[in-house]
Amino acid sequence: MAKIMVNGARLAYDDTGDGTPVVLLHAGIADRRMWREQVDALASRHRVIALDLRGYGESGLPPAPFANHDDLAGLLAALGIERAALVGCSFGGAVAIDTALAHPHRVTALALLGAAVSGNRWSDEANDLWDSLIGEVDPDDVPANAAAEVRFWVVGPGRRPEDVDPDLIAFAHQLDLRALAAEQALSAVEVTDLDPPAIGRLGELRMPVLVTAGAADLPDVSRLADRIAAEAPEAVRLPDVPDAGHLLPLERPEPVNAALRDFLP
């Protein structure tokens, strides 16, 4: 693990391998540890940077306004990397897309795995699924909230917890406990959003884009992957990964790694 000062914050990252640069951007319920199955698989051909976004994992959170897409561009500049491919899962996918729109000269390609998109709104169906699966959770009960998010996102609406590897559930719970602490801290800091947001600008993504999702994830996530693929000019939509929830790189590393090896420049 290394740390580097970027835009006034000390960001934590792992830097592994040699070759064309690739940055791995974690989900909002996780940190850079979720990429433990990808780093070595890609490092034989790529310089792999696994980043903790500001406030997450071991990255700092100074009390000053910031934008994740500017942090990422600043990280590349600080590391002497002119351009890199970005691989993002969930929230990390949204950061990847925002960076490609705000700093297109920095991005060679995007691989989006169950990606969110800034400006997108979840459907009433997704909210109803939460109500039916989870219901009310005390916002001050952090372990209960972590358990609820793991049930909703990692297990998914179409599976039972007993259908999923218990070690994955335990690790996801550990990741989410730390991510919830990050979210609480981030709520006191001004985060600058991309303006206008990415949801209306997907046609501006002029680099190669790979899109997929977990087949056991929320239907909204798969539909959003369809939209990205339809609107980004150079996008390729892979079929959803069978028996995978929202953290598909962690749950199903073999097909994800194979797709990334085939796609990344």
Q: Write out pLDDT tens, residues 79-109.
A: 999 999 999 999 999 999 999 999 999 999 9
175 within some domain = no
Say how far apart CA 203 and CA 241 lie, in whole Å.
25
142 within some domain = no
216 within some domain = yes
- Whether 133 has a pLDDT exceeding 90, the answer reads no
151 within some domain = no
153 within some domain = no
126 within some domain = no
Instruction: Please give the model's pTM, rounded to 2 decimal places.
Output: 0.97
Give the pLDDT confidence score for residue 9 in this predicted structure: 96
Say how far apart CA 32 and CA 175 lie, in whole Å.
9
What is the SS3 assignment for 12? strand
How many domains would you assign to the chain? 1
Domain that residue 200 falls in: 2-121+186-263
207 within some domain = yes
Say how far apart CA 38 and CA 191 lie, in whole Å.
29
Query: For position 23, which CATH number holds?
Result: 3.40.50.1820
Of the pLDDT bands very low, low, confident and very high (cuts 50, 70, 90), residue 140 is confident
Residue with tokens 């910031």: 66
Q: Write out pLDDT tens, residues 141-162.
A: 999 999 999 999 999 999 999 9
